[in-house]
Structure 1
Amino acid sequence: MIKSAIILFLSAFLGGILAINSVDVISKNIKHVLVFAGSFLFSVTIIHILPEIFEASHDHLKVGGFILLGFFFQQVLEYFTNGVEHGHMHHHHHGEGHTTLKSISLMVALSVHGFLEGTLLAHPESVHANHTEGTLLAGIVFHKVPAALALISVLACQYKSRSTQLILLTIFALASPAGVFAGHLLGDFGLLDNAGMVLLFAFVSGNFLHISTTIFLESSPGHSWSSRKLIISLVGATLAVLSEILF
């Protein structure tokens, strides 16, 4: 648990630090990173999360309903984040009051999303009896890094103060580790039974499906064909499958 929390924090924090001094370079080269991350995350959701939650519950209709709820809840979050959590960059300047309001709503929405995805790493045996968390952790990390890069690109436009950027980046980086600890506490103290944990995981998997599919749509403006995008997508999916088989 602690190891996973540390990895999640460092992936987001160091990804953001990398972008602070190279926002322009990152913004020009992030598309291919996003395609890889989206493909890996989508594949992990399909071959790891969804089979396990359907296997762990007899009420498949309810599980499917929570997946849909998670999918559309992510759409609501993106109203406030403008897609930062799947690497979408915006470079707009606003008045100070408007910037503060937008930043608060952005950080709250990103923290909610990060917290929820962290809960997936709480592993009750009834849900994850057949797998380790390595593949799932990798999928979240591959998603967190470009999200942190995109967040810094937004914050750099809104705030010139490096200290302010670092504070907000730290809040973002702490959200997923907090979700890891909260997920374990919910299970360990019986605040959420196994059936409830399954529904929670179904909800978060809906988030992941929305994020990963949106990455593919945004990476192909006008639905243009790109052999490079296809190859990167296949590499991401193949690595996800291999890591699931081997680990």
Structure 2
Amino acid sequence: MLLNILILFLSTFIAGAFLSIIPKKRPASFKHLLVFAGSYLFSITIIHLLPEIFRISENFETVGFFVLLGFFLQVLLEHFTSGIEHGHLHHKNHFQVKSIFLLSALCLHAFLEGTLLAHPNIIQHHHGSGALLIGIILHKVPAALALMSVLLYRNIKRPQALLLLFIFALASPMGLFLSDYLITIGVISEKTFIALFALVGGNFLHISTTIFFESSPEHKLNLSKLVMAVIGALVAVFAESLI
């Protein structure tokens, strides 16, 4: 667990901190990388997370309800973030949102993500947990880049921006640590955690599909993005079978 905590924190903080050094530079292939990450996340959700949740649950209807609830919870969170958590930048929208609301919404989402890696004996059975960790990292790195871009766009001083990034980077590790601790001491039941995992699964479905929709707003076939999406899906299948 400690290794996962370090990986989650360092990958997020280092990515955002790097952008603070070169805030005006953004790779031209950023959208293609988002498509790859979105495809990977969607595939891991479909082939690993949701099947595992349904497999260990005694009530399929309840799981489906929480997946649906998680989907619409993400819609609500994006009212405050305008899509930063899946790497999208809409500076005019973010400029109207106070930093505290933006950070709170992002941290809530990141905290929930961290719970997915908690107590693997309950839901992950070790197999596939590495693939899920990769998926979360591929999701969090663009979010960290987008967050720092917005903070710097608002002319927030670099030390303050790094502090906010630090708080955001801690959210997923805290979700992992706290949820694992609470279920170990029996404060939260396994059924509650299954519902929580289903909730995050719904979050992931919304985020990954939104990336696809926003990558082609005119609904035109873009061969290069399609190739990246297929590669992302294939990498997810490969990672799921080996890691």
Shift in Å, 1:93: 9.2
Note if 1:237 corresponds to 2:233.
yes
**1:34 counterpart letter in structure 2:** L
Shift of residue 197, structure 1, vs aligned partner: 1.1
Aligned to 2:197: 201
- Which AA in structure 2 matches 1:116? L
AA aligned opposite 2:25: V
Deviation at 1:129, TM superposition (A): 2.1
* C-alpha distance in structure 2 between counterparts of 1:132 and 1:225, whole Å: 32
| 1:137 partnered with 2:137 | no
Distance apart, 1:20 and its partner CA: 1.4
Paired residue type of 1:215: I
Query: 5+ unaligned residues in a row in structure 2: which ranges?
Result: none
Moved over 3 A (4+): none
TM-superposed deviation, 1:29: 3.4
Residues 44 and 93 of structure 1: CA distance in aligned 2, closer, same or farther (over 3 Å): closer
Q: What are the superposed Cα offsets for residues 54-101 of structure 1, whole Å, 9 maximum, x if unpaired?
A: 00012000000000000000000000001000011133399xxx86x6
For the pair 1:118 / 2:114, whether they are aligned, the reply is: yes
- Deviation of 1:27 after TM superposition, in Å, equals 6.2
Say whether 1:72 aligns with 2:72: yes
Q: Deviations along 1:98-150, whole A, 9 cap, x unmatched?
A: 86x61010000000000000000003423222614200100000001111111
Report the TM-score when normalising by structure 2. Answer: 0.95
Q: Is this contact kept in 2: 1:57–1:198, CA < 8 A?
A: yes
Q: Aligned in 2, Cα 1:83/1:130: closer, same or farther, shift over 3 Å? A: same
Q: 1:189 to 1:91 in 2, by over 3 A?
A: same
| Structure 1 residues 160-208: Cα deviation after superposition (integer angstroms, max 9, x where no partner) | 4110110111011000000010110121011111111111100000000
Larger deviation: 26-35 or 140-149? 26-35
How far does residue 19 in structure 1 lie from its aligned partner after superposition?
Answer: 1.4
Partner of 1:216: 212
% of aligned pairs identical? 53
Instruction: Check if 1:51 corresponds to 2:35.
Output: no
Match of 2:182 in 1: 186
Q: TM-score, normalised by structure 1?
A: 0.94
Which letter does structure 1 place at the counterpart of 2:213?
Answer: L
SS of residue matched to 2:142:
helix
Alignment length (residue pairs):
243
User: 1:225 corresponds to which residue?
Assistant: 221
Structure 1: tracts of 5 or more residues without a match: none
